[in-house]
Amino acid sequence: MAITVKLDDLLHDRRMTLTELAEKIDITLANLSILKTGKARAIRFSTLEAICQVLGCQPGDLLEFQRD
């Protein structure tokens, strides 16, 4: 996929687990895992906003476009 999700790197930098983030943004761990592994088809603005709010980052820090 051309868009990659860099959630793993962001969590690593902030010493935070996926479970902790799931609790803070009120999203199920299963859904967050789908996002982290790049299996999600789409991401809601509300989810993006919540993740950026908790991790103190910009949407561009979370998503990256890679040319095939």
Residues in the site for other proteins, rule: CB under 8 A? 27, 31-32, 34-35, 39-44, 47
Q: Give me the least distance between CB of 66 and other proteins, in Å please.
A: 20
Q: Which residues contact 45 (CB under 8 A, 6 or more apart)?
A: none
Measured CA to CA in angstroms, residue 26 lies from 7, 22, 54, 66, 67 at distances of 16, 6, 11, 29, 33
- Measured from the CB atom, the residue of 16 and 40 that comes closer to other proteins is 40
Report the C-alpha gap between 37 and 57 in whole angstroms: 19
Q: Nearest distance from residue 20's CB to other proteins, in Å?
A: 17
Q: Which is nearer to other proteins, 16 or 47 (CB)?
A: 47
- In the bound complex, what is the minimum distance in angstroms from residue 26's beta carbon to other proteins? 13
